[in-house]
């Protein structure tokens, strides 16, 4: 197993109500799971290959809860990545060189039956975790915009965090409202002002690094 590690910022949006039942081991709000995300790697490596400064994205959907499988997924890797970086990132994002059940990427790969070819495009990931704002844009595939959840009476930003001490994707994330518009092979028609989160990721072959 080739050692790897990433320190990154993640921006994600799914079709569920704010809070996302998956975070509470409950079933999806509307029965299906439909999600898009972007990750900006601040520091990282795959073996002796640096992954610093690269970005990746993913779009996926399942006809039911993720754990029932039969999902469709497409990975997009920063076109600026060289051949070795592309190979390393694809292995991380498909759960290879990773202990069983250790990362959300491993789980998604196992629960996916349709794996569309990986794309190599410009992946823009902008995020301010503290202000709960962000954007992910992949030309001809999807655009995701994130903003704070608003109080329905005052219109003021409403701050909520999810703290999962034993989580395998993250331990603490800022909740937000996201909208995803898709143009690619996977269509997400229901991701409109729905659940989003922004968080720091710290993963390696064994999963989430908690120190």
Name the token pair of 8.
């990154």
Could you report the per-residue pLDDT of 5-59, keeping only the tens digit for each? 999 999 999 999 999 999 999 999 999 999 999 999 999 999 999 999 999 999 9
Asked whether the predicted pLDDT for residue 211 surpasses 80, the reply is: no
Asked whether the predicted pLDDT for residue 205 surpasses 80, the reply is: yes
Average pLDDT score over the chain: 96
Give the model's confidence band at 210: pLDDT under 50 very low, under 70 low, under 90 confident, else very high: confident
pLDDT value for 2: 97
Could you report the per-residue pLDDT of 132-180, keeping only the tens digit for each? 999 999 999 999 999 999 999 999 999 999 999 998 899 999 999 999 9
- CB-based contacts of 81, cutoff 8 Å, min separation 6: 54, 89, 120
Boundaries of every domain in the chain: 4-208
Residue 19: closest CA among 190, 201, 152, 161: 161
pTM of the complete model: 0.96
User: The tokens 């006809």 sit on which residue?
Assistant: 63
pLDDT value for 117: 97
* Interatomic CA distance for residues 130 and 103, integer angstroms: 24
């Amino acid at each position: 197993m080739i050692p790897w590690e990433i320190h990154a910022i993640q921006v994600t949006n799914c079709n569920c109500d704010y809070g996302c039942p998956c975070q509470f081991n409950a079933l999806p709000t509307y029965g299906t799971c439909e999600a898009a995300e972007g990750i900006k790697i601040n520091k990282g490596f795959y073996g002796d290959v640096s992954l610093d400064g690269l970005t990746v994205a993913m779009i996926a959907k399942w006809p039911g809860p993720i754990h029932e499988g039969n999902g469709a997924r497409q990975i997009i890797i920063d076109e600026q990545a060289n051949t070795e970086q592309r190979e390393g990132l694809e292995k991380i994002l498909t759960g290879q060189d990773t202990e069983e059940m250790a990362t959300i990427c491993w789980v998604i790969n196992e629960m996916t039956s349709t794996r569309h070819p990986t794309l190599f495009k410009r992946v823009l990931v902008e995020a301010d975790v503290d202000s709960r704002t962000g954007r992910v844009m992949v030309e001809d595939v999807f655009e995701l915009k994130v903003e704070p959840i608003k109080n329905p009476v005052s219109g003021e930003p409403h701050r909520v965090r999810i703290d999962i001490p034993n989580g395998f994707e993250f331990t603490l994330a800022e909740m937000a409202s996201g909208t995803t518009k898709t143009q690619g092979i996977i269509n997400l028609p229901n991701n409109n002002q729905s659940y989003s989160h922004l968080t720091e990721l710290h993963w390696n072959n064994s999963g989430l690094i908690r120190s």
